[in-house]
Amino acid sequence: MTADAKKFTEARDFLLNVKNYEEALSGFKWPHLTKFNWVLDYFNEMAKSNDQKAVIYADTKGNEREITFNELYRRSNKVANFLTDAGMQKGDRVLIMMETSIELFEIILAVFKNGGVIIPAASLLTPKDISDRIERGDIKIVFAHKPYVEKFNRAGVMIKGLTALIAVDDIFADDQSLNKKYDGWLDYKDADEYSEEYTPAFITFTSDPMFMFFTSGTTAKPKLVIHNHNYPVGHLTTMYWVGVKPGDVHYNISSPGWAKYAWSSFFAPWNAGATVFTIRYAQFEPRPVLEAIEKFKINTLCAPLSVWKLFVQEELENYKFELREIVSAGEPLNPEIIRLVKEKLGITMREGYGQTESTLMIGYFNGMEIKEGSLGKVAPGYKLNLLNDTLDVVEAKQDGQIAVDIYPVKPLGLLEGYDDPVKNKEIFKGGWYLTGDTAFQDEEGYFHFVGRNDDVFKSLDYRISPFEVESELMVHHAIVEAAVIPTEDERGRIVPKAFIVLKSDFQPSREMALQIFTFIRNQIAPYKRPRYIEFMDAFPKTISAKVMRKDLRAYNEELRKENKLGKYEFKESDFAKELNIRKRT
């Protein structure tokens, strides 16, 4: 084991064995690493001769596969040699468009062994999107599951001249795609012929790029987030937050196309020496997934809010789970969801906060007291403050932008920057990384999320947090999702409007609108009450399942330009008599 690998494992062992959060916060220090390749220096040593299961794969078509750490070590060596023979060099950028699979884990490990930089791509991307990512990402190698090969072939001249295009069989797909050959594409099965011994011909420095993520696409041109080889070290905070231990079976519900997959389907569990469980489905349905959690004896589970909204509608108490830890990240949790999970499973779901640009920065860690409506406290290794527009620290209970102290020590796992120098100047200022998220902190150090800077708005001089109003709406028994934006009322005033998705047992109607407006008037303070509600079948979302409020605002603006209401949109003033509303309130 190298000297830097030893520093990494010592930091990991400290967090695996720490007694409580206070000890972790005061005792954890980022290791100073210079030459460290997480796969070559840590994973290989952990995996050699290790017959514990590294990955368990299942899908809704009945396929089940598993691979041990030792098998994965040897298999990824084959793929690394295959890549070398295909012309890959250190620093080459590799675009991967694949669904979760055993092969995906082999390929990720092999690319890192070969000094490559991975840029994951969501399978929903169009040929035009693919062409843009190849150009802006300076891609040299492509891996694609065979059902997606034609998307790349339709991407035009951008795929011409790449070092290698590699097609991978997909056991979940139509059998017609299996064993099919594609002109200009290498077949992943050719890796079978290569040696199980691999020796790198380069040194990896921690400053070398490792992972790059295109942000989730809520803007026309997603930014490219750049992480270096300290990124997996940074996910020691994620490992500690999840509570995963050696020998556990960990399941993270996420898509390979976004950063959370790297967070909790890869680095966090394997930092701990745990088994990764992954399941493939054409469309998410809660019951098959819950059955898999029971069948494969999952110990630690991470899932986003959108999944928990569906889970809590099921009879969770009837399953025989072996769950010990349940966490959620991606969007702030509604207190009602936490309450329902505790009621049905007897486990307190712990929230976490981070970004594509970071690792876990804020969260509830084992043993901490839960404070309703709070994100938790700062993660070990991070120093955070809340800043105003002039970068002054705000007082307790005042809103401020969440900022990471990057001087003199920048937390490992925090982005190197974007592919946009102008944007980098905006986010790195005065020794801070500015997250773009607003929160307040109470006297006990708990952070309370307010919203994205772009989402928070004022109504009649009151600051409105969409998240706060959405959380209050979610208490209603018929609502499964809510999203709040600003709109104009008949008098030109800015007021909250709530888009609502109902549970399957309920249908949009005037009667349902009256019921919800009655609930709003009884439960929500007057200044932040939604004055309009609109029922929708589903919300526009990013691949990471975040609601795209930008699209909702654009849709609403079009309605207002035409002086129209949506098909299932209702005004509070429509119910003035029933709600006993006096005129001009």
**DSSP secondary structure, 117-140, as one string:** EEEE--TT--HHHHHHHHHHTTEE
pLDDT at residue 460 is higher than 70: no
pLDDT at residue 550 is higher than 90: no
Extended beta strands in 256-383, E state? 275-280, 300-302, 325-328, 350-353, 362-363, 377-378
Note whether 349 and 361 are within 8 A (CB).
no
For residue range 483-508, list pLDDT tens digits in order: 999 898 887 788 899 999 999 889 99
- CATH fold of 65-227 reads Rossmann fold (3.40.50)
pLDDT at residue 131 is higher than 60: yes
Element (H, E) at 481: strand 479-488
pLDDT at residue 539 is higher than 50: yes
The predicted structure's pLDDT at residue 122: 87
The predicted structure's pLDDT at residue 528: 87
C-alpha to C-alpha distance for 184 and 445, rounded to whole angstroms: 57
Domain 457-579, CATH homologous superfamily name and number: ANL, C-terminal domain (3.30.300.30)
- Nearest Cα neighbor of 215 from 316, 358, 111 is 358
The predicted structure's pLDDT at residue 309: 83
| The Cα angle at residue 505 between residues 504 and 509, in degrees rounded to 5 | 95
For residue range 16-47, list pLDDT tens digits in order: 999 999 999 999 999 999 999 999 999 999 99
Token pair of 406 as six digits: 């990057």
Model's pTM, two decimal places?
0.83
Average pLDDT across the chain, whole number: 92
**pLDDT: which is higher, 250 or 128:** 250
pLDDT at residue 102 is higher than 90: yes
- Domain ranges in the chain are 65-227, 457-579
Residue with tokens 């399942």: 545
The one-letter amino acid at 574: D
| Pairing relationship of beta strands 447-452 and 417-418 according to DSSP bridges | unpaired
- Nearest Cα neighbor of 585 from 511, 534, 517 is 517
- The band of 364, judged by pLDDT with boundaries at 50, 70 and 90, is very high
Note whether 66 and 278 are within 8 A (CB).
no
The angle, 0 to 180 degrees and rounded to 10, between the axes of the packed helices 466-473 and 510-523 is: 110
For residue range 279-317, list pLDDT tens digits in order: 999 888 999 999 999 999 999 999 988 889 889 989 999
